[in-house]
Chain A
Amino acid sequence: MNELGLTRMVKVEVVTRADDADAVRTLLHASGVSGWTSLSGVSGFGHHGTHEGRLLFNDRAGLVMVIAVLPPGRAEPVVTGLRDILAQRPGVMFVSDAWVSRPEYFGADRAAE
Chain B
Amino acid sequence: MDVALVLGVLIGPASAVLGALVVPDPRRAARVVGALLGLSAVAATALLVRVAADPAVPGVLVRVDALGPAFSVGVRVDRFTALFVLLVCGLAAVVAGYARRYLDGEPGARALQARVAAATTATLVMATAPSLVQLAVGWIAAGHLLVGLIGHYRDQPRVRAAARRTRRLFLVGDAALVAGLALLVTPAGDADLDAVRATAGARPGWLLATAGVLLLVAAMVRSAQVPAHRWLPSTLDAPTPVSAFLHAGMVNVAGFLMITLASVVTAAPGMMPAMVLVGLATAVSGLLFAAVRTDVKGTLARSTVAQMGFMLAQCGLGAFGLAAVHLVGHAVYKAYAFLSAGGTLQAQARAAGTPRPEGPPPTRPRVLAAATVIVTVLATELLLGTTATGALSAALVAAAALAAVWSALADRALPARTAAALTVTVAALAGGHLVAGRAVEGWLALPTGTSLLGVGAVACVLAVVAVAGTVLRRRPSATLWWWAWHDGAAIPRARRTAPPDGPTPAALTVPRPGLLDRSDGARVVAAATAAADHVGAVGPLDAFVAVNPLAGRERVPFARATAELRDLAGTRTHLPAAEYRQRLRDGRITPADLAAVLPPPPRVAGAVLLGHRRIDVTDLQVAVLSQPVHDGPPPPADLLAVARRRLAELPARPRPRTPGEAGPHTLAETVDRALGTRTTVDVDDLVAAWCAAHSGRPAALWPVPGPTDAGCWARWRRMAGADPALARWGVTGLATLVDALPEAPEQAVAVLLRAMGVPPAAWSTYLSRSLLRLPGWAGHARWAQANPGQGPALSPLDLLAVRLTYEYALAGAAAQRHLELPPVLDSIAAATPATLPRSAGITPEALARLAGALDVDVAMLACLPGETVATLRDVACQLTPSRQSEVWLAAAEHAYRRRLRYRLDRGADRPAVDAPTLTQAVFCIDVRSEGLRRHLEATGPVDTYGFAGFFGLPVRTVTAGARRGRDRCPVLMRPVATVEAARAGRAARSRQAWRRAYAAAKANPVGAFAFVEVAGVLATAALLLRAAAPGRFVPPADHTAPTVADLTTAMSLDEQVYYAEATLRTIGLTAGFAPLVLLCGHGATSANNPYAAALDCGACGGNRGGVSARLVAGMLNRPEVRAALTDRGIHLPDGTHVLAGEHDTVTDEVRLFDMDAVPAGLRPAVEELTGRLAGAGARLRAERAARLPGRPRPRRLPRRAGDWAQVRPEWALAGNAAFIAAPRELTAGVDLGCRTFLHSYDWTGDRDAAALEAIMTGPLVVAAWINLQYYFSTVDPQRLGAGTKTVHTVLGDALGVLSGSGGDLRLGLPLQSVADGTRPAHEPLRLLAVIRAPHHLVDAVLGRNPGLRHLVDGGWLSLTVVDPGTGAWSEPAPGGSWRALPAPRHVTAPTTEPPARHPAPATEKEYTA
A residues apposed to B, CB below 8 Å: 17, 20, 22-23, 26-27, 30-31, 48-52, 55-61, 76-78, 80-85, 88-90
Contact partners of B786 in chain A: CB under 8 A: 22
Q: Which of A22, A48, A55, A77 contacts B1346 (CB 8 A)?
A: A48
Contact partners of A85 in chain B: CB under 8 A: 525-526, 529-530
Contact partners of B952 in chain A: CB under 8 A: 57
Chain B: interface secondary structure?
helix
Q: Which of B523, B746, B1261 contacts A80 (CB 8 A)?
A: B523
Q: Which of B522, B527, B1348 contacts A78 (CB 8 A)?
A: B522
CA distance A30 to B524 in the complex (A): 10
Q: Are A49 and B970 in contact (CB under 8 A)?
A: no
Q: Are A51 and B1346 in contact (CB under 8 A)?
A: yes
Q: Are B1347 and A31 in contact (CB under 8 A)?
A: no
Interface check B825, CB cutoff 8 A:
no
Q: Which of B522, B1346, B1349 contacts A31 (CB 8 A)?
A: B522
Q: Are A77 and B1062 in contact (CB under 8 A)?
A: no
Minimum C-beta distance from B761 to chain A (A): 10
Contact partners of B529 in chain A: CB under 8 A: 20, 23, 26-27, 85
Q: A55-B1257, A77-B522 are in contact. List 12 more A-B contacts (CB 8 A).
A: A26-B525, A26-B529, A26-B785, A27-B522, A30-B797, A49-B1344, A52-B1253, A57-B1255, A57-B1257, A77-B523, A84-B523, A90-B1346
Minimum C-beta distance from A105 to chain B (A): 21
Whether A60 contacts B1343 in the complex (CB less than 8 A), given A26-B525, A30-B746, A81-B526, comes out as no
Q: Which of B555, B1254, B1345 contacts A89 (CB 8 A)?
A: B555
CA distance A67 to B1250 in the complex (A): 31
Interface check B316, CB cutoff 8 A:
no
Pick from B518, B972, B1062, B1347 the residue with the most CB of A within 10 Å. Answer: B1347
Contact partners of A83 in chain B: CB under 8 A: 526
Mark B654-698 against chain A: 1 for CB-CB distance below 8 A, else 0.
000000000000000000000000000000000000000000000
Q: Are B518 and A57 in contact (CB under 8 A)?
A: no
CA distance A83 to B1343 in the complex (A): 26
Mark B1038-1074 against chain A: 1 for CB-CB distance below 8 A, else 0.
0000000000000000000000001000100000000
A-B contact pairs, 21 of them (CB 8 A): A23-B525, A23-B526, A26-B795, A49-B1346, A55-B1257, A56-B1066, A57-B948, A57-B1255, A57-B1257, A58-B973, A58-B1257, A58-B1258, A76-B519, A77-B522, A78-B522, A81-B523, A81-B526, A82-B526, A84-B523, A84-B530, A88-B533
Minimum C-beta distance from A60 to chain B (A): 5
CA distance A110 to B1067 in the complex (A): 56
CA distance A67 to B409 in the complex (A): 51
The interface on chain B, measured as residues whose beta carbon lies within 8 A of the other chain's beta carbons, has a size of 43
Whether A56 contacts B1254 in the complex (CB less than 8 A), given A22-B786, A26-B785, A51-B1346, comes out as yes
Mark B1004-1037 against chain A: 1 for CB-CB distance below 8 A, else 0.
0000000000000000000000000000000000
Pick from A27, A56, A90 the residue with the most CB of B within 10 Å. Answer: A56
B residues apposed to A, CB below 8 Å: 518-523, 525-527, 529-530, 533, 555, 744, 746, 764, 785-786, 795, 797, 948, 952, 970, 972-974, 1062, 1066, 1250, 1253-1255, 1257-1259, 1261, 1343-1349
Q: Which of B764, B1261, B1349 contacts A58 (CB 8 A)?
A: B1261
Q: Are B785 and A57 in contact (CB under 8 A)?
A: no
Q: Are B1258 and A57 in contact (CB under 8 A)?
A: yes
Q: Which of B522, B972, B1346 contacts A60 (CB 8 A)?
A: B972
CA distance A64 to B525 in the complex (A): 19
Q: Which of A22, A52, A55, A76 contacts B1258 (CB 8 A)?
A: A55
Q: Which of B525, B974, B1348, B1349 contacts A27 (CB 8 A)?
A: B525
| Beta-carbon nearest neighbor of B1346 in chain A | A48
Contact partners of A77 in chain B: CB under 8 A: 518-523
Minimum C-beta distance from A29 to chain B (A): 9
Minimum C-beta distance from A92 to chain B (A): 13
Whether A81 contacts B1254 in the complex (CB less than 8 A), given A52-B1344, A59-B973, comes out as no
Contact partners of B1259 in chain A: CB under 8 A: 57
Contact partners of B1345 in chain A: CB under 8 A: 52, 55, 61
Contact partners of A90 in chain B: CB under 8 A: 555, 1346
Contact partners of A23 in chain B: CB under 8 A: 525-526, 529
| Beta-carbon nearest neighbor of A47 in chain B | B1346
Q: Which of A27, A48, A49, A76 contacts B526 (CB 8 A)?
A: A27
Pick from B555, B785, B1250, B1346 the residue with the most CB of A within 10 Å. Answer: B1346
CA distance A58 to B970 in the complex (A): 8
Q: Are B1062 and A22 in contact (CB under 8 A)?
A: no
Q: Are B522 and A81 in contact (CB under 8 A)?
A: yes
Q: Which of B744, B764, B970 contacts A57 (CB 8 A)?
A: B970
Minimum C-beta distance from A36 to chain B (A): 14
Contact partners of B533 in chain A: CB under 8 A: 88
CA distance A83 to B519 in the complex (A): 12
Whether A50 contacts B1344 in the complex (CB less than 8 A), given A22-B785, A77-B521, comes out as yes
Contact partners of A61 in chain B: CB under 8 A: 972, 1257, 1345, 1347-1348
CA distance A59 to B523 in the complex (A): 28
Q: Are A49 and B1343 in contact (CB under 8 A)?
A: yes
Contact partners of B744 in chain A: CB under 8 A: 30
Contact partners of A58 in chain B: CB under 8 A: 972-973, 1257-1258, 1261
Q: Are A59 and B1347 in contact (CB under 8 A)?
A: no
Can you list the 7 inter-chain pairs with the closest CB atoms, starting with the nearest?
A: A57-B1258, A81-B522, A84-B526, A48-B1346, A77-B522, A56-B1254, A23-B529
CA distance A27 to B524 in the complex (A): 9
Contact partners of A80 in chain B: CB under 8 A: 519, 522-523, 526
Q: Are A76 and B746 in contact (CB under 8 A)?
A: no
Q: Are B555 and A84 in contact (CB under 8 A)?
A: no
| Beta-carbon nearest neighbor of A24 in chain B | B529
Q: Which of A31, A50, A52 contacts B521 (CB 8 A)?
A: A31
CA distance A82 to B797 in the complex (A): 16
Contact partners of A49 in chain B: CB under 8 A: 1343-1344, 1346, 1349
Minimum C-beta distance from A14 to chain B (A): 12
Q: Are A57 and B530 in contact (CB under 8 A)?
A: no
| Beta-carbon nearest neighbor of B974 in chain A | A59
Q: Are A84 and B527 in contact (CB under 8 A)?
A: yes
CA distance A38 to B525 in the complex (A): 19
Q: Are A50 and B1343 in contact (CB under 8 A)?
A: yes
Pick from B764, B952, B1345 the residue with the most CB of A within 10 Å. Answer: B1345
| Beta-carbon nearest neighbor of A27 in chain B | B525
CA distance A90 to B1253 in the complex (A): 21
CA distance A58 to B526 in the complex (A): 26
Whether A59 contacts B972 in the complex (CB less than 8 A), given A30-B521, A76-B519, comes out as yes
CA distance A106 to B851 in the complex (A): 73
Whether A30 contacts B972 in the complex (CB less than 8 A), given A56-B1258, A90-B1346, comes out as no
Q: Which of A20, A30, A50, A57 contacts B973 (CB 8 A)?
A: A57
Minimum C-beta distance from A110 to chain B (A): 14
Minimum C-beta distance from A77 to chain B (A): 4
CA distance A17 to B1259 in the complex (A): 19
Q: Are A88 and B530 in contact (CB under 8 A)?
A: yes
| Beta-carbon nearest neighbor of B948 in chain A | A57
CA distance A82 to B522 in the complex (A): 8
Minimum C-beta distance from A42 to chain B (A): 14
Q: Are B1344 and A81 in contact (CB under 8 A)?
A: no
Minimum C-beta distance from B1355 to chain A (A): 18
Q: Which of B519, B764, B972 contacts A81 (CB 8 A)?
A: B519
Minimum C-beta distance from B890 to chain A (A): 27
CA distance A31 to B268 in the complex (A): 71
Minimum C-beta distance from B1339 to chain A (A): 11
Contact partners of B1349 in chain A: CB under 8 A: 48-49
CA distance A49 to B519 in the complex (A): 33
| Beta-carbon nearest neighbor of B1343 in chain A | A49
| Beta-carbon nearest neighbor of B970 in chain A | A57
Contact partners of A81 in chain B: CB under 8 A: 519, 521-523, 525-526
Minimum C-beta distance from B712 to chain A (A): 15
CA distance A23 to B795 in the complex (A): 11
